[in-house]
Structure 1
Amino acid sequence: MQPAVSSSQSFTRTRLTLVFVLGASIALSLLLVAVRVVMTGRLLFLFLAWNLFLALIPFAISTLLGIARGPQRARLLVPAGAAWLLFFPNAPYLITDLFHLDARPGVPLWYDLALILSCAWNGLMLAYASLSDMQQLVTVRLGAGAGWAFATVALLLSSFGIYLGRYLRFNSWDVLTNPLTLFFDIMNRVLHPFSFPGTWGVTLVFGVFLLIGYGTVRLLGRAHEEQAG
């Protein structure tokens, strides 16, 4: 009779597999960026590598919380959770880099499409994997309903963060480096919502899109588990 595998060991094994798959996908994106630089002699899309690095941060934080146990996790939960929420929008933000798709000399349009789509896919998968980790932490403590409420709010807030980053050009670290301007712009839109229809249009449409996508991924995973069982 084989010894039972602990939840910590199971998480670690699953996470190593996920890290390997995501690592291979991210490596492909970086390779496409590098090949484009060689083809064109320009660093135009090098910013996508930076965006992928930012998208990795919330995934790294949720992985750290998943590995931590007992008092260690309890001590990390609040500061790590706050940092996670702050950096989380950077992952789904990558889907908006499709705005940069345009015909340019020196490289086929299909190549740029594949490059940007691969980065957007990686950002989305990093976001969903990270959110699943955090939802599980909430579910264990507060129940399934609270877990899904957390996921919904997190995705809506991330969509608002996408708007702040794409249209107002704020970064996650502006919370520390430019807090007054950030606070003013956010409160101005909260207090005068009808003056900024684009803000809430982006937040709602992207939020619903991300939520449906996340729900689909979770259902696919559950269906696979039930079939295997």
Structure 2
Amino acid sequence: MINKLKTMGRLNITILLIAMTLFCFAISITRYLITGTKVFLFLNWNLFLALIPWTISSLMLIYNLNKKPPLVLLIISWVLFFPNSPYILTDLFHLRLHGSAPVWFDLVLILSFAWTGLVYGLTSLMDIEKMLSNYLSQKWVNTVIVSFLFLAGFGIYLGRYLRWNSWDIIKNPLGLAVDIIDRFINPFSHPRTWGMTLLMGILLNMIYFSIKFIKVKPELKGI
């Protein structure tokens, strides 16, 4: 496994993500030991959900599961879990609800989880983009990626305000479908749905393409 990660140039980011995850776990446990309150321990579960899309895309790359039939099914599975990665950003809503620790400590704690979850998600999205590039032109790849990020914004709304999660596609598909269809049939009755989807989608696109462009090393001329 390590050799495969080295070959793919993925070992460093994997080690970094493991270290970031351990830091998140450690700081949440530290808060619990100091304050005796469990209010932010749930972030560890949210982070576990956030690494699922990264795990799916990593296995797809490592085991070369990018042939058309399994690729479509695996990407559908990936899409269902992808919103869990940026979802932790919304846990900032909890920042001032619990005063058992200094606000600055809780800010660092939540941002650590949020950023780690985001890196899991965006890394996996880059994996998906790479695999799609084998079948689609760059124009269509970009269109799909932008769409995925807006879908993530919609998924974040479903999780934060309607309390649906990825498992409900199996546990309660009818109830989930009713809520989703209602928002498409009666869009003007749900302004918060589309307001959050739009703004969160724009934010996620800004973050993703900013990181993507920063990764591109410009040619240094005349130096």
Tell me the TM-score normalised to structure 2 length: 0.92
Is the CA contact (8 Å cut-off) linking 1:138 and 1:146 kept in structure 2? Answer: no
Indicate the residue corresponding to 2:66 in structure 1: 73
Indicate the residue corresponding to 2:12 in structure 1: 17
CA offsets per residue over residues 20-44 of structure 1, 9 Å max, x none?
1111111111111000110111211
Size of the aligned set, in residue pairs, is 217
CA offsets per residue over residues 112-151 of structure 1, 9 Å max, x none?
0000011111111111101010011111211211111111
The CA RMSD measured in Å over matched residues stands at 1.7
Indicate the residue corresponding to 1:46 in structure 2: 41
Q: Residue 29 in 1 paired to residue 24 in 2?
A: yes
CA offsets per residue over residues 169-221 of structure 1, 9 Å max, x none?
00101011111111011000001101100000000000001001100000000
Indicate the residue corresponding to 1:112 in structure 2: 106
Matched position secondary structure for 2:39: coil
Query: What letter corresponds to residue 23 of structure 2 in structure 1?
Result: L
Structure richer in helix, relative to its length:
1
CA distance in 1, matches of 2:162, 2:111: 23
CA distance in 2, matches of 1:83, 1:214: 21
Structure 1: 5+ residue stretches without partners: 1-7
TM alignment of 1:1-229, pairs within 5 A: 12-69=7-64, 72-74=65-67, 76-102=70-96, 104-223=98-217, 226=219
Query: What letter corresponds to residue 43 of structure 2 in structure 1?
Result: L
Matched position secondary structure for 1:171: coil
CA distance in 1, matches of 2:7, 2:29: 32
CA distance in 2, matches of 1:90, 1:104: 23
Tell me the TM-score normalised to structure 1 length: 0.90
- Give the superposition deviation at 1:18: 0.5
